[in-house]
Structures are given as C-alpha cells and as structure tokens.
Amino acid sequence: MPSFYAERPRHASNIVPFEKAGRASRVSSHPIHSVGGLIEPEVAAAFGVPLAALRAPTRGRAPVALARQCAMYLAHTLLGLSFTAVGAVCGRDRGTVAHGCRVVEDRRDDAAFDAKLCALETRLAARLAARPTTAAAR
C-alpha cells in the first residue's frame, strides 16, 4: 500500500467522543460535545438505564438498545448532525445510526412513546438553547 494512504485522514476520524477527548470539564456548545455531555445522560435518566450501559460497545438488552437509538435519533434531529458524525461520537457505524433513527421514527406511532420522546426533545432543546456559545465559553 502506498504511504500516502496512511497520511490521509479517514472520514470522521477527527471526531472523538467528548469524554475521550479529555475535555469533560470544559464547557462547549459544539454540537458533538452535546451528545456525550447532555443528550446521553438525559436519555439514560428518562429510560431508566445506566449511562455506562448506554455507552457500552455491545448492543445490550432491548431497553438499553432502544435508549441508545433514541439518543442517536435526538443527536441527529436536534443537533443536525449527520449519521456519520453521530456514529463517530457514539462509537457506531453510520448504518447503525440510520437504522436506529428509522426504529425510533416507527415507534413514534405509539402515543406513550411519542409523548416521552417529545418531552425529552423539549427538555433538551431548552437546555441546548440555554448553553453559552463557543465564543462566550472561552
């Protein structure tokens, strides 16, 4: 393999999870940092699953997988991140993120699930709006 392949960055390889980047204490309004620092804890609390299980590299049981799919869906819809960016932050493939978003969209036909997700969206949108901008955080 030619050496120039090793120097070329892969897609979304420069996107690392917030906690792994060593910036957990720094306030940032960058959308990618909102996934690990804001969305995941809210979703874990709303679905009653441990945050560690939500971030685990394995699928886990069905309630954990559904909570993770909801977190990926909210990152995609609320933050406007691409499937590739959400996958890079959550440690999943973009196809997995797309599948999770489809599952959540299909489950929104259930009134109870939709109400829970709407409440999460409203709460997260308010918290995201209240966060300082990147320039103000410096």
pLDDT reading at 23 higher than 50 = no
Count H helices, E strands: the chain?
9, 0
- pTM here is 0.73
The fold of 4-137 is Chromosomal Replication Initiator Protein Dnaa; Chain: A; (1.10.1750)
Task: Indicate whether 69 pLDDT > 50.
Answer: yes
Higher pLDDT, 116 or 9: 116
Domain residue spans in the chain?
Answer: 4-137
Q: 67, 54 in Cβ contact below 8 A?
A: yes
Give the model confidence (pLDDT) of 71-126 as tens digits. 999 999 998 999 999 999 888 999 999 999 999 999 999 999 999 999 999 999 99
